[in-house]
Homo-oligomer: A and B are copies of this chain.
Amino acid sequence: VRAVILAAGAGKRLRARFNQPKPLIRLCGLSLLERNILSLRACGVREFIVITGCYREEIEAHLGDGRKLRVDIQYLHNPDWQLGNGVSAFTFRPLHRPGEKFLLLMADHLFDQRVLRDFLAQEPFLPEDQVLLAADRRLDQVFDLDECTKIEMAGSLPRRLGKDLKEFAAVDCGLFLCTGALLEALARAIGRGAYALTDAVNILAGEGKLRLHFVDGPWIDVDEEKSYRQAEKMLLQSLIPPKDGFISKHINRRFSLAITRQVARTGLTPNQITLVSLLVAAASAFAFALGRPLWGGLLAQCCSILDGVDGEIARLKFLQSKYGALFDAVLDRYADYLVVMGMVYGWYAQTGEAAAFLLGMLALTGLPLSMLFKEKFQALTGQTYIPEEHDGILRYLPANRDGRLFLIMLGGLFHQVPLCLLLLALVTHLQALARLVKGRQLMRHQE
Chain A: residues with CB nearer than 8 A to chain B?
A: 321-323, 325-327, 329-330, 333, 337, 341, 344, 348, 354, 357, 360-361, 364-365, 368-369, 371-373, 375-381, 432, 436, 439-440, 443-444, 446-447
Q: How far is the CB of A356 from chain B (nearest CB, A)?
A: 8
Indicate how many identical chains form the complex. Answer: 2
Say yes or no: A379 contacts B375, CB within 8 Å: yes
- The answer for the CA separation of A344 and B377 in the assembled complex, in Å, is 31
Residues of chain B with a CB closer than 8 A to A321's CB: 443, 447
Chain B CB within 10 Å — which of A321, A376, A436 has the most?
A: A376
Structural contact, A322 and B365, CB atoms closer than 8 A: no
A-B contacts, 25 listed (Cβ < 8 Å): A322-B381, A322-B443, A322-B447, A323-B443, A326-B373, A326-B377, A326-B436, A327-B436, A327-B439, A330-B376, A330-B436, A333-B372, A341-B365, A354-B354, A357-B357, A361-B361, A361-B364, A364-B364, A364-B365, A368-B372, A371-B376, A375-B376, A375-B378, A375-B379, A379-B379
Tell me whether B326 and A439 are in contact (CB under 8 A): yes
Q: Which 5 A-B pairs have the closest CB atoms?
A: A357-B357, A375-B375, A378-B379, A323-B443, A322-B380
Given A348-B354, A361-B361, decide whether A372 and B329 contact each other with a Cβ distance below 8 A: yes
Contact B341 A361 (CB under 8 A): yes
What is the CA–CA distance of A436 and B334 in the complex, to the nearest angstrom?
13
Q: Give the chain B neighbours of A325 by CB distance below 8 A.
A: 376, 380
Please measure, in the bound complex, the distance between the C-alpha atom of A446 and the C-alpha atom of B354, giving whole angstroms.
48
A368 contacts which of B323, B368, B378 (Cβ < 8 Å)?
B368
B368-A326 in contact (CB<8A):
no
Q: How far is it, in angstroms, between the C-alpha of A440 and the C-alpha of B375 when the chains are bound?
A: 19
A381 cross-chain contacts in B, Cβ below 8 A:
322
Are B354's CB and A337's CB within 8 A? Answer: no
